[in-house]
């Protein structure tokens, strides 16, 4: 099987939108063992799209077509493919029902344009869209399979995960299972990780190893080919010890979890609670933890103490401490964490105070961040970071570091309860 | 002139590396007024690359080829193009000298492979590489211009800026400017917006109009072609009244700002402050505002009151109110906003309380969100939202709505000061 990925949209070729789908689908195909040979992007231009489809059908036998399934008049992927394949489109009552429910929930009438999305290939199959109105579609003709997916990433990715991957696995009908394990790392760069594991990455064939940089952190993805889950498990086990021996402390999850998910899991397992006092991260730290369902069981709350006034009034940081050391200091980080923990009656509290930029503050450089970790009955610890990058990047990395520090503490196990 | 961008490298089609060059070059071409029609990515595979070049030369007359200029054996872009065009490569003494200097600086001998990079088209031109060893190349044959650029972003971008853009401008020798205006909308879907503006989008040729969905909200992009900025301005003015008449309240910016940037601008212009009390958004609302540089001047702070305990202790919401109406209620939203405003001594306070899911709470459905807006000396207003989607989506849309409500209030102008 040979793959071509076509992404459709004038926003792509005019440079308005970065095409992430080709990258995402290529990686997914790679782990399924299906080689991708071409990516093509083309605008919302039916004649050009027609030619691109024709060419792709000559050089690939599995073709993804992403985008152009929307309700507007320039969304023509499905219609163009139907024309190219000379295949009929018919209205699907299930999709109509889905559209009705979708807009009913929003207490809105169905825009007339959206009905266009209820037409599907008579000889094809339909992938239900849980997060939007356009269904995904697949059709096979002349030994070539075409898979049409909606353009918005929040629709395409879950659809691939829950509908398209199983469809491909069945098509591949390999006996071998593909089992993937993701080792998630923080506080170590991708090139450093690749260096430390260089010989393993080169030599290990099953599981295959590859590194991927995340927005923050790095993934080592291990892909095992095995007859059973148990066999895959033993393949992972054969290299895992060595990986951990070389990189142990930097690996925070083998289950593809985010740092906030790991912190939530560790806290709730031990029935512990946390509170936050955020200056430079401005609420991001609390927000990250609250993205995890059920987080209200472990998060007491947080205080966004963005001004000295609020640091003093709501968190009782003494005015003379703020005056003597400044808001961005070891001392303030410590007081913020300790007072917040006591005030919100939590087992832990984490504080952040720093200079997110773009200008320096208190004569302190952009990127300087202090993180306090207070714990019931223990001495408060304070960490210093010197970060780089944009304001948003510094806020994000500081918040993730705060979670990483808490995770390192929680995983040690010797806890108070 | 019609452009095709070819990116070369097995790391691209295997999903290891995200192709950012096509996006970057497309945007640059767009602002130069040269339309890009296709992106193609292909692996380090000479026969496939040959075919891709051949096809591109049939459908474009300006072709960028990025990557495959490195020193290793699978770097074959230049050699493949030379073969396709039947053009001679000769060693360039200036590039040899550059290579020598480059490795001398690093106190290293020139690897023998790197000499390959000193070969250039006999009938072409050379773009000096300040940040690496592979020069960029351009050659024109049969009215088609081919531009080869090195793959590493830190080499490609400066080379484009300092060498390729001037080369293109000279080739173009145009007089017309391209001026873009982005109209940002919230609380109206893309299809609804396209429906309301349908005739304008169809008929207006200058400026051209197109809608793009954002993660939250929609952009209407107007692209004007004019001799001067003033002329472009009058082209925008010619349709702007009509756009605002039909969609006025939903448009929150004509300057490509985010809602948080607009709220920051409106607050700081009028020297007003805000505070937040966040339950279901868990700190996201505060975080969004603090992504804006200088936001400490308008944001007093925030309280993430994730538990009833904290709603009562830190924000003084009466226990019996929480008991009678629940945390997710009109009454709690109102009390959270009012008490936080008073406590943090802010001109405004915005509160959020709702059910982010995935499970319902207090017998209330997932997606129900109350937003309170308290204002010094005025009656507090409370808004009810019924949102859809994942937990993260509900949190994000609730936070953006809260900003949108504040923006609507601030833009009215009849403020307290």
pLDDT band at A107 (very low <50, low <70, confident <90, very high): confident
Instruction: Using CB atoms, pick whichever of A26, A112, A305 lies closest to residue B301.
Output: A305
Q: Which residue bears the tokens 């031990």?
A: A270
Q: What is the mean pLDDT of residues A376-392?
A: 94
Side by side, which strands form the sheet with A348-354? A381-386, A368-375, A348-354, A274-278, A299-304, B299-304, B274-278, B348-354, B368-375, B381-386
Name the packing angle between helices A21-32 and A165-172 (round to 10°): 40
Q: What ranges make up the beta strands (E) of A229-367?
A: 251-253, 274-278, 299-304, 348-354
Q: Which residue bears the tokens 């301005």?
A: B233
Instruction: Please answer whether residues A63 and A22 qualify as being in contact, where contact means their C-beta atoms are separated by less than 8 angstroms.
Output: no
Q: What is the mean pLDDT of residues A13-27?
A: 93
| ipTM entry | 0.75
CATH topology of domain B3-172: Molybdenum Cofactor Biosythetic Enzyme; Chain A (3.40.980)
Determine the CATH number of domain B177-253. 3.30.70.2860
Residues A39, B295: C-beta atoms closer than 8 Å: no
Nearest CA to CA, how far is B59 from chain A (Å)? Answer: 10
User: Where does residue B379 rank: exposed (0-12), middle (13-18), buried (19+ CB within 10 A)?
Assistant: exposed
Q: Which residue bears the tokens 């001392």?
A: A331
Predicted local distance difference test score (pLDDT) of residue B173: 67
Q: What is the DSSP letter of B76?
A: -
Cβ–Cβ contacts within 10 Å for residue A120, how many?
A: 25
Residues with Cβ within 8 Å of residue A108, at least 6 apart in sequence: none
Q: What is the DSSP letter of A377?
A: T
The neighbouring-strand residues paired with B319 are: none
Nearest CA to CA, how far is B389 from chain A (Å)? Answer: 7
Q: Which superfamily does A259-411 belong to?
A: CinA-like (3.90.950.20)
Q: From CA B292, how far away is CA B268, in angstroms rounded?
A: 12
Listed in order, the ranges of chain B carrying CATH 3.40.980.10 are 3-172
Closest-CA residue of B relative to A151 is B213
**DSSP assignment of A208-224:** EEEEEE-SSSEEEEEEE
Q: What is the mean pLDDT of residues A109-117?
A: 87
Residues B284, A282: C-beta atoms closer than 8 Å: no
Q: What is the pLDDT along chain B (417 residues), one digit of tens a residue?
A: 899 999 999 889 988 889 999 999 998 898 777 889 999 999 999 999 999 999 999 999 999 999 999 887 788 999 999 999 999 999 999 999 999 998 888 777 888 888 899 999 999 999 999 988 999 999 999 999 999 999 988 899 999 989 998 899 888 766 567 788 999 999 998 889 999 999 998 899 889 888 877 889 999 989 888 888 899 999 999 999 999 999 988 999 999 899 999 999 999 999 999 999 999 999 999 999 999 999 999 999 999 998 999 999 999 999 999 999 999 999 999 999 999 999 999 999 999 999 999 999 999 999 999 999 999 999 999 999 999 889 999 999 999 999 999 999 998 764 444
Nearest CA to CA, how far is A187 from chain B (Å)? Answer: 21
Nearest CA to CA, how far is B91 from chain A (Å)? Answer: 32
Predicted local distance difference test score (pLDDT) of residue B414: 45
Cis peptide before A207 (omega within 30 of 0): yes
Residues A189-226 as b/e (b if ≥16 CB within 10 A, e otherwise) read ebeebeeebeebbeebeebbbbbbeeebbbbbbbbbbb
Give the H/E segment covering residue B348: strand B348-354
Predicted local distance difference test score (pLDDT) of residue A413: 61
Residues with Cβ within 8 Å of residue A153, at least 6 apart in sequence: A20, A21
Instruction: Please answer whether residues A246 and A389 qualify as being in contact, where contact means their C-beta atoms are separated by less than 8 angstroms.
Output: no
Q: From CA B39, how far away is CA A40, in angstroms rounded?
A: 5
Listed in order, the ranges of chain B carrying CATH 3.30.70.2860 are 177-253
Give pTM, 2 decimals.
Answer: 0.76
Residues A304, B290: C-beta atoms closer than 8 Å: yes
Listed in order, the ranges of chain A carrying CATH 3.90.950.20 are 259-411
Predicted local distance difference test score (pLDDT) of residue A268: 96
Q: Which residue bears the tokens 């030379």?
A: B82
Structure tokens at B118: 């000193």
Find which of A301, A347, A351, A400 to mutate to test the B interface (most B CBs within 10 Å of its CB): A301
- B-chain residues near A17 (CB < 8 A): 23, 212
Residues A306, B295: C-beta atoms closer than 8 Å: yes
pLDDT band at A18 (very low <50, low <70, confident <90, very high): very high
| Number of Cβ pairs < 8 A linking chain A and chain B | 265
Instruction: Please answer whether residues A312 and A319 qualify as being in contact, where contact means their C-beta atoms are separated by less than 8 angstroms.
Output: yes
Q: What is the mean pLDDT of residues A377-405?
A: 95
Predicted local distance difference test score (pLDDT) of residue A210: 82
Distance separating the N- and C-terminal Cα atoms of chain B:
56
Residues B309, A15: C-beta atoms closer than 8 Å: no
Residues B191, A72: C-beta atoms closer than 8 Å: yes
Q: From CA B300, how far away is CA B286, in angstroms rounded?
A: 10
Residues A299, B276: C-beta atoms closer than 8 Å: no
Residues B30, A22: C-beta atoms closer than 8 Å: no
The percent helix, strand, coil of chain B (3-state, each to 5) is 45, 25, 30
Q: From CA A311, how far away is CA A307, in angstroms rounded?
A: 6
Residues A24, B41: C-beta atoms closer than 8 Å: no
> How far apart, in Å, are the Cα atoms of B118 and each of B65, B128, B129, B193?
18, 11, 12, 54
Q: From CA A181, how far away is CA A290, in angstroms rounded?
A: 26
Q: What is the pLDDT of residues A248-271, one digit of tens each?
A: 889 999 998 999 999 999 999 999
Is it the case that residue A32 has pLDDT exceeding 90?
A: no
Instruction: Please answer whether residues B76 and B35 qualify as being in contact, where contact means their C-beta atoms are separated by less than 8 angstroms.
Output: no
């Amino acid at each position: 099987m040979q793959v071509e990925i076509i992404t459709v949209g004038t926003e792509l070729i005019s440079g308005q939108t970065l095409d992430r789908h080709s990258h995402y689908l290529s990686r997914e195909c790679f782990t399924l063992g299906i080689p991708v040979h071409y990516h093509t992007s083309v605008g919302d231009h039916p004649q050009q799209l027609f030619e691109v489809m024709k060419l792709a059908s000559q050089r690939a036998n599995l073709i993804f077509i992403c985008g152009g399934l929307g309700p507007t008049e320039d969304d023509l992927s499905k219609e163009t493919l139907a024309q190219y394949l000379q295949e009929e489109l018919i209205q699907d009552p299930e999709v109509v029902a889905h559209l009705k429910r979708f807009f009913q929930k929003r207490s809105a009438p169905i825009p007339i344009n959206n009905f266009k999305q209820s037409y599907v290939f008579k000889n094809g199959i339909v992938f239900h869209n849980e997060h939007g109105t356009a269904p995904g579609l697949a059709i096979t003709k002349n030994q070539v399979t075409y898979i049409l997916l909606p353009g918005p990433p929040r629709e395409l990715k879950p659809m691939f995960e829950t509908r398209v991957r199983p469809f491909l696995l069945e098509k591949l009908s390999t006996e071998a299972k593909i089992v993937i394990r993701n080792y998630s790392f923080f506080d170590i760069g991708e090139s450093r990780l690749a260096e430390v594991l260089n010989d393993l990455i080169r030599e290990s064939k099953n599981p295959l190893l590859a590194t991927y940089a995340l927005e923050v952190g790095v993934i080592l993805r291990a892909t095992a080919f095995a007859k059973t889950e148990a066999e895959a498990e033993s393949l992972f086990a054969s290299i895992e010890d060595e990986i951990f021996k070389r990189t142990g402390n930097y690996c925070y999850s083998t289950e593809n979890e985010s740092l906030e998910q790991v912190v939530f899991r560790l806290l709730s397992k031990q029935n512990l609670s946390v509170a936050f006092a955020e200056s430079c991260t401005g609420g991001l730290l609390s927000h990250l933890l609250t993205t995890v369902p059920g987080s209200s069981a472990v998060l007491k709350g947080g205080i966004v103490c963005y001004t000295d006034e609020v640091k003093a009034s709501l968190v009782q940081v003494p005015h003379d401490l703020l005056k003597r050391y400044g808001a961005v200091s070891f001392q303030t980080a410590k007081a913020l964490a300790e007072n917040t923990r006591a005030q919100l009656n939590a087992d832990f509290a984490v504080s952040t105070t720093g200079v997110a930029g773009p200008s320096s503050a208190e004569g302190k450089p952009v990127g300087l961040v202090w993180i306090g970790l207070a714990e019931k009955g223990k001495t408060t610890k304070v960490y210093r970071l010197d970060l780089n990058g944009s304001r948003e990047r510094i806020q994000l990395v500081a918040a993730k570091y705060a979670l990483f520090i808490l995770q390192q503490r929680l995983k040690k196990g010797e806890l108070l309860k």
